[in-house]
Each structure stands twice: as structure tokens, then as C-alpha cells.
Structure 1
């Protein structure tokens, strides 16, 4: 018997057993959470990528979304990114061929805090004229995502833009889950440039954890605001970048195991909840449920506020 125990012990030491997905301690929401997925800054988000073309980013993202059976993703495009080559235009064509939608994200990715409402509206209209050849219909294009989630630092500016939207039959594509992937992507590019694979893996793990925590926080917050019996939709904001091209599959696998159901983006942000006007001036952009919390002066302590990773990310793979 001692020999048998020795053999078993030796096997466990040298060939550790990997837990299967079913054996992991996975958090699951009690009730199914419906999540719509949106991707900003088509066709070329973030800094230049030394190890991938923009076309490769597009191909990988579309492939992943198809493999994970994500329905009707809404992409928000900036006309200024359709510069100098036919590749950017082809990326939008491929996006449409995949069955996804294209919305307005201003032509020059403007921050409403830095320009007048009149300049902002002109930029929206300029983007319309560029993107109309790529969207299937005018109504498809008249779904708007605020760059930086900034809706106006004062109410005059906020309602000047909203009045324009009402007159032109625009819909606002709100966000509840801000992934901060743009911040992670910059650190990711540095790690790739320096070929620091262990750091890259650590960063990706933290990125996935960040999305999980932001999702858990906003699901808890939305239930606190609207009640446990109200199904509260979630909308995930991602960007058209290399980090997501290579790792979005892991993100979607993780949140899918949490009893999250992927639904069309339109279904999610057309929910009546997202039609509420928080009516608050913004010093910086905010996801929707946080806007509502502040507008009602609610104090929420039902789940820890997700960690801000910017300082940690700035220190990763420094050159």
C-alpha cells in the first residue's frame, strides 16, 4: 500500500490536475442578466498596432462574435477614421456583411465638454454624410453614442444636443458597463512591444476581472434603483482594438458562465429604463446607472465600487 501511495503522490506532484470549468467556483447571478454588446471607434480604435493590421483586428473581432453567438452588435463609427486607405472602408463593409449595425459617434470623436453644442451638432451631421453609404438605413445610423460618455457639463448644452436629437429622431445608445478597455489596451500594446508575455497574461487576467466586477456592481446598483423584480438590461462598451481582437473570446466565456445572456444591442438600450433622463450636468462622462443614482441622490453600498486600475496600468511594461 505504501508503494501505491508513493506513486499517487508522485503523479500529483509532477502532473498537477487542472480543474475543469464545471469545478471552478464561478459566480452566477440568481436571475439571468441580459447583456447587449456595443463596440466604439470603428474602424480603427487606439494607437497604431505594430503586430496586427486593422483588417486583422476586424477579422478576429467578427470571428469571435460569431463563434460566441452574440446577436446584433452595434458598432459606433467616426468618419475621421475612414482616412487614407480603402481598408477602413472595407472594415465597415465587412462589419455590415456580418449582420451588425453602424451608429453615429461624431465625425471627429469630439468631447462635448470641449466644444459648443453648435459645433458638436455640425460634427454629428458631418458624420452622417460619411457613414450613410455604409449603414443599411437612416434610422440605423440615427443611434448615437456620446464619445467619452460626455453628455454636457451644463444643462444648456445638454439640452441643446438632446433637443436636436428629438427633432431628428435620434436615439441615445446608453452604456451601463464601461470596460475601460482603452486604458488596458495602451498597457497591452507596451507589453506586446517588449514581448513580456507574463505581464501580458497578468494584464489580461486583470482586464477580465475588471469587466466582471463592473458588471456585478452595475447589476446590483440597477436592482437597488429599480427593484429586484425589474429586469434591468446591461450594455457593455468595448472598443475596436487589438486587446479585444485577441482576448474578447475569454471575456465573453467568463461572463456567459455568470448566467448572462447575450441579446441584441438594440433590445438592451431600447428598454424603457434607458429612456430616463438623468438631467444632471457632468464633469466627466458617466455610465447610465451611475447617472441615475446621482440624479436621485442615492447612497449605494450594496456592492463595492470597482477598483480604478489606471495607476496600476500606467506602471505596466514601462519603457
Structure 2
């Protein structure tokens, strides 16, 4: 009887582990996304994001636009921000130099921007025995046509890059713009409403994408969350991490998430929109999914559109 009970407990433990939800957290637009306040604020934003990663055990990847390093009188301090990410055991990826769109930029020009965007980041990583291995398309624009897309993917492969896909996106840049405007105005009430709306919307997006995954893949998958290095995430990402943990999510590396066989599926999408890979894997229903996504809080959206 005891042996049977032990086997039952072991089986239950196995299913608990098997049911564990996983997500890789990725931050775009390092060293800062959104409206600029000051160098001191930029440093503080990154310090808090890094501290939250340490508190919650998040092995995040930060995707760098190296143009954001080229600020007169601030370059050394901004490079030191990247060093602080690496010193904390986090990883950096290439997000191009100037954040162009592959849908609107000639291929050769775009590829040169990718090369220019790796110079500092690659050197910093190599100093630590690390390899720059991930590329994230700005705007998630992966190519306007099949020829451009295939040519660029061959270029990335030749430079030993792996594309960093995205399954969940909370549109934090919209909330952040309103949040920083409120911060500048000293409107703490609007800051609190915006932060709360951001967390709530992002959790709805996770719930929604879990259901999309079940329809497209037949099960929930290990997810990749796209957010940005910005003020609202410095103040609210810890709350979001806690909420995701309570929903059963384990924070894991991008490398581990991409081992989920779902990511071996073909990205069918061609077009000008930056959409979730879950939509790309189901080209017949991608438009339908977009139409029924959770909507952003109307107050926030109105403030963003009318600023």
C-alpha cells in the first residue's frame, strides 16, 4: 500500500511539473524605450528592471539599439548600463542600430544597420566569454515579401543569429508613453491608473494567448513575452512577475523556451504588421485572432492617441 501511495505521489508530481507554464521575458529598445527624462532616470529604470529580474529569478534577454548609446556626454554611462545587465547574469541581443522597419527599408541598408548594431554589444559579451546569438526584428517586421524575408533570414544565419520570436505582447509602449507624461506632470493618480491598466491588460493577453495556443498547437506552449526597457516596467514589472507566478508561470531562459517544438513551425506571415508568432503559425485565422484580442483601456488609448 505504501509503495502504491508513493507511486501515486510521484505521478502527481510529474503531472504538476508537466503542467507548469513557462515564459521567457525579453526587453526591447535598450537602453531606454519611450520619452526621455534624464540620464539619471534612464540609469534608475535599468537598475530597477535588473533588480526585479534578480528578485524573481528572471533570466531575461535585453535587445539593444546601439544608436541609443550615441548620446553626447552620455555614451560611457549608457555602455555601463549594458555592462550592468551582463554583470547581473542577464543576456543581450541585437535589435539593430537604429530600429528601422524591414517593411520600409531596403534590404542591404537594413542588413548594414544590423551589423552596425552589434559592435559594442558583441564586444561586451565576448569580454565575458559570451556569444551574441539572438536577433529581434524592430516592430516585429520580418519582411514584406517572401524574397526579402528569405534573404534576410539567410543573412542572419550566416552571422550565427537566431531569431527571437514573440507570442505575448502587452503593448507596454502605449501605457509607458501615458505613464511618463503623467510622471512629468506630477499626476500620480494617472500614473497609478495607467500602471494598473497595464498589468491588467497584459494578464488578459496571457490568458488570451494561452487559448490561441490551444487552438493553434493543441496545447499551451512555453511563451515569449515582449516588453521594453522603460519607466512603467521599472515600476510595475515586479507586480506583473508576481501575478504571473500566481498563475503558475515559471520564468525561464529564451534558449529553453525555444526548445518547445512549437517553435519549429514555419512562420507563414508576410506583411507590414508585427504580429504574434502564434498568429503566424495559423495563417488562415490570423486576421480573426487580431480582431478579438483584448482591447487596451479606452482612457489610456485616448490619451496616447491625442497627446
Regarding TM over 0.5, the answer is yes
CA 1:203–1:297: 2 relative to 1, 3 Å: closer
- Could you tell me how far 1:44 is from its partner in structure 2? 2.0
Rounded to whole Å, the distance in 2 between the matches of 1:282 and 1:310 is 27
- Could you tell me how far 1:138 is from its partner in structure 2? 8.9
- The answer to whether the aligner puts 1:177 opposite 2:168 as a matched pair is yes
- Could you tell me how far 1:304 is from its partner in structure 2? 5.1
Q: Give the gaps of 5 or more residues in structure 2.
A: 1-17
CA 1:223–1:275: 2 relative to 1, 3 Å: same
Rounded to whole Å, the distance in 1 between the matches of 2:161 and 2:304 is 41
Is the Cα–Cα contact under 8 Å of residues 21 and 248 in structure 2 kept in the other structure?
Answer: yes
TM-score, length basis structure 1: 0.82
Quote the residue 2:141 is aligned against.
150
Rounded to whole Å, the distance in 2 between the matches of 1:307 and 1:47 is 23
- Could you tell me how far 1:312 is from its partner in structure 2? 3.6
Q: How does 1:82-121 map to 2 (within 5 A)?
A: 82-83=69-70, 84=72, 85=74, 86-121=76-111
Give the helix-richer structure, 1 or 2: 2
Rounded to whole Å, the distance in 1 between the matches of 2:266 and 2:217 is 15
Rounded to whole Å, the distance in 2 between the matches of 1:317 and 1:143 is 32
Rounded to whole Å, the distance in 2 between the matches of 1:311 and 1:147 is 27
Rounded to whole Å, the distance in 1 between the matches of 2:284 and 2:66 is 37
Rounded to whole Å, the distance in 2 between the matches of 1:192 and 1:186 is 10
CA 1:46–1:316: 2 relative to 1, 3 Å: closer
Q: Give the gaps of 5 or more residues in structure 1.
A: 1-29
- Could you tell me how far 1:73 is from its partner in structure 2? 1.0
- Could you tell me how far 1:90 is from its partner in structure 2? 0.3
Give per-residue Cα distances to partners, 1:162-191, cap 9 Å, x unaligned: 121223322110011112111111000111
- Could you tell me how far 1:52 is from its partner in structure 2? 5.2
> Which has the larger Rg?
1
CA 1:151–1:311: 2 relative to 1, 3 Å: farther
Give per-residue Cα distances to partners, 1:275-311, cap 9 Å, x unaligned: 3222221221111101112x2447878x952114477
Quote the residue 1:45 is aligned against.
33
Quote the residue 1:219 is aligned against.
210
Quote the residue 1:78 is aligned against.
65
Is the Cα–Cα contact under 8 Å of residues 153 and 284 in structure 1 kept in the other structure?
Answer: no
| Stretch of structure 1 that moved more, 205-214 or 164-173 | 164-173
Q: How does 1:16-27 map to 2 (within 5 A)?
A: none
Is the Cα–Cα contact under 8 Å of residues 187 and 314 in structure 1 kept in the other structure?
Answer: no
Quote the residue 1:130 is aligned against.
120
SS at match of 1:76: strand
CA 1:310–1:112: 2 relative to 1, 3 Å: farther
Rounded to whole Å, the distance in 1 between the matches of 2:277 and 2:160 is 20
TM-score, length basis structure 2: 0.85
In structure 2, which of residues 42, 51, 58 is the aligned counterpart of residue 63 of structure 1? 51
Quote the residue 1:251 is aligned against.
240
- Could you tell me how far 1:269 is from its partner in structure 2? 2.9
Give per-residue Cα distances to partners, 1:55-104, cap 9 Å, x unaligned: 1111111111111121x211110111112321100001110000011111
Is the Cα–Cα contact under 8 Å of residues 191 and 316 in structure 1 kept in the other structure?
Answer: no
SS at match of 1:36: strand
